[in-house]
A and B are shown apart, each in its own frame.
Chain A
Amino acid sequence: MAAAETLERPVGTDGRVPTLQIEGLHVAIDGHEIIHGIDLAVNKGEVHAILGPNGSGKSTLAYALMGNPRYEITEGTVTFNGEDVLEMEPDERARAGLFLCFQYPTSIPGVQMGNFLRLAVKARFGDKAVKTFRRELQEKLRLLKMDQSYMQRYLNEGFSGGEKKKAEILQMAMLKPEIAIMDETDSGLDVDAFKVVADGVNAMRGADRGFVVITHYNRMLEYIKPDFVHVLIGGKIVKEDGPELAVQVDQHGYGPIIEEVRARGEEVELPEEGGATYAREEPAARHHDPFRSHGRTAI
């Protein structure tokens, strides 16, 4: 249906319509523009890395793609399998196969992880999926070295940083998205947890899934080899290249890239020192014989 429209757009390297296509995207928070025009095309089977200093707008891009109402799209288009994403509610985006591993997952008191996961899987794959749910869950829990008891716990409540990230990966594994955006899933993890998370992601790689990996560290990219690397600074993608770009950033930082951009005559908006990482404050059949086989006496 939307195919005719998308054909006129630039297509992916091998002539396919990109699964996720972002064009000229501008995003504002409280009327203040953070993302100043981004183009990005992601296909299934590809891994894209987005690198950028603190406060450059990486999470803002991710939230906007997921439809967080605080993030206002002021310009541009986003399509997913040719459909206009911006017209979709967040739940429709999720059911279509878009997934975000949050940098700061929300904890929801009273909502049991297991119960929630079952409903989410049902929402995405329909009633049939509930049959295989148990078995699949066991499998994924094992893969992520998570204990069964997580399923009774309230969603992210009292979870450690590492547990929260694992819980995000678990959700991703159960919901099998076509495109997964991973916002700093590697930060705040100790070596063991990091390895479990990275293995979990690697196990999900394949021709039917694309990844956008947002990260600060090359550590993640050594595990999950990206096909493309994009550097986001000041709300713009200022440089893109193959995996070697990540190595370059790892060794020399963003300085040389900023100089390069300035040399091209473009402006780069640099976030103030320290004021970067934005962590949201978390607000706080009837049986009518109750006696069964017991003898009883009238009272």
Chain B
Amino acid sequence: MTTLVRTTELPATLLEAGFSEAASRALGEWRDDPDWVRALRAHGWEAWEDIPMPGKTTEGWRRSDLRFLALDRVRPATALPERAAGFDALPRALTEQVDMSFAAGGVLVQRDGGTAYGEIVDDLREQGVIFTDLHTALREHRDLLEAHFMQLVPARWQPGPPSNAGKFEALNAAFFNGGSFVYVPPNTTVTLPVRSIFWASDPAAGFFPRSVVIVDRGARLVYLDEYRSVEAPEGAPAVFGSGVVELYIKDGARLDYVTTQEWSPSTGGFLTQRVTLGRDAYVNWVVVALGGLCSRLTADVLLQGKGTKADLLGLAFGERTQVFDIHTLQDHLSPYTDSDQLFKTALRDRARLAYEGLIYIRPGSYGSNGYQANKNLLLDDTAKADSIPMLQIHDNDVRCTHSSATGPVDEHHVHYLMTRGLPRPQAERMVIQGHFEPVIGRIAVEELKDTIRDAVDRRIGDR
């Protein structure tokens, strides 16, 4: 247990809007960065300054819409929250949105980068499972973190193939504030889901969580990551932030992972998540993107070890003027690696999707299979989807396919259901739900499936 008493008082530099080197340093001091971390934070700032702001001509950013950015009007941080006595003592604005109906192995709720509530079952703690906030972990678990923190998503990540991320990951490296750390020791099985919930509650402050998850050799973990934010006031710029998650799945380990992005409709943000897989490791990852005004989501899987397997599934439902900018990477770095990706979206009103997915087969990754499919339902003529599935293959002994399909609800399907007595709105609803079912069905937590189904259902609205 940490005995450090920290002030929740925010240093003056962080009360001012805008990002600066001084602010980055002040943040590090305020959050008690150990020495070895200070250098990383400093690198983050340098990279942020060096990497040009992506624009309409930047590879991987052509269809992105960054007009929501108002960096000089965002404060880098805000005061840390009081600890709540229990989950129910947290503000209603948050608890109302979170599904707590199912059993968990641990829950960590962070508000504006600080822990507002967190518990782990003793059983897991006794088995050596570590679940804590990032800052505590950086101080207390250097042994585990030095080799993992900012390694998969480094402070300086020069954009270029196969990934064009870098800029906003650097901003996160300079201003990371909050995040969680999960460690599962070798051959330990954690099937009760471990949950992190990140809530940005001050619309004037940026949110920059950075998390590290390590599933050690032969271990298993079910991990849920949830992102939420408050609405921006009328006339104010969009709530802004950039989150990073680094996930390490060691040899023979398995991770079942669900990311839920349910930012408020007036939030513009970035979320970059990378998973690396050791030999014979497996990840089943479901990304659920429902919130945000403009959101860029980067989901990368590095099939590093021989014989690894990754299932990457995703769904997004856009309404009003929401923009989803989704980038996925299946990077095959070893022989006999299998990746299977399925991303499904539905868009209504004037919502827009820009999807880019790359299967990258490195030389020597013989015997590998890479599959990728993106399917988009346009529920209104005004909705738009740009889908760019890409293959780069540098080994000939592999099997790869990719496909993308965008179109309205299939009238044949609707008609068939109607001939069984379902009125048109109900028939359409059923077809739309059915569109997402192959993704929702893969969520590792049974109860969460219904929560996601309901969330999708609400968005379908009255057809």
Contacts and interface: CB of A to CB of B under 8 A. Distances in A.
B433 A91 contact: no
A150 to B, nearest CB: 16
Interface string B431-450: 10111111000000000000
B120 interface: yes
B451 to A, nearest CB: 11
B410 A91 contact: no
Nearest to A172: B420
A112 B421 contact: no
Given A94-B421, A297-B120, 13 more contacts: A89-B418, A91-B418, A91-B427, A106-B416, A108-B413, A108-B416, A116-B420, A280-B412, A287-B101, A288-B100, A290-B100, A291-B104, A291-B119
Contacts of A11: none
Contacts of A120: 417, 420-422
A171 B437 CA distance: 22
Interface of B: 86-88, 95, 99-104, 106-108, 115, 118-123, 125, 131-133, 195, 405, 410-413, 415-424, 426-427, 430-431, 433-438
Interface of A: 66-69, 89-91, 93-95, 99-100, 102, 105-106, 108-112, 116, 119-120, 123-124, 154, 171, 175, 280, 282-292, 294-299
A154 B119 CA distance: 40
A124 B418 contact: no
A284 B426 contact: no
Nearest to A280: B412
Given A284-B405, A297-B125, A91 B434 contact: no
A116 B417 contact: yes
B372 to A, nearest CB: 16
A295 B122 contact: yes
Name the 3 nearest CB pairs between A and B, nearest first: A110-B434, A110-B437, A290-B104
B421 A299 contact: no
A119 B422 contact: yes
Chain A binding surface SS class: loop
Contacts of B437: 109-112, 154
A290 B103 contact: yes
30 contacts: A91-B419, A94-B419, A94-B421, A95-B421, A102-B416, A106-B412, A106-B415, A108-B413, A108-B417, A108-B431, A109-B434, A110-B434, A110-B437, A111-B413, A111-B433, A119-B426, A119-B430, A120-B417, A175-B421, A280-B412, A283-B412, A287-B101, A288-B95, A290-B102, A290-B107, A291-B103, A296-B120, A296-B121, A297-B125, A299-B132
Among A69, A100, A106, the most chain B Cβ lie within 10 Å of the Cβ of A106
A85 B433 CA distance: 30
Contact of A111 (B87, B103, B118, B430): B430
A236 B9 CA distance: 88
B104 to A, nearest CB: 4
Contact of A91 (B422, B435, B438): B422
Contacts of A110: 433-438
Contacts of A105: 416
Contacts of A69: 411, 415
Contacts of B195: 290
A297 B435 CA distance: 41
A288 B434 CA distance: 30
B434 A299 contact: no
B211 to A, nearest CB: 14
Contacts of A106: 412-413, 415-416
B416 A299 contact: no
A101 B419 CA distance: 10
Nearest to B436: A110
Most chain A CB atoms below 10 A, which of B108, B132, B421, B423: B421
B438 A288 contact: no
A108 B438 CA distance: 12
A100 B119 contact: no
B434 A298 contact: no
A299 B431 CA distance: 43
B1 to A, nearest CB: 9
Contacts of A294: 121-123
Given A68-B415, A296-B121, A297-B125, A123 B423 contact: yes
A90 B412 contact: no
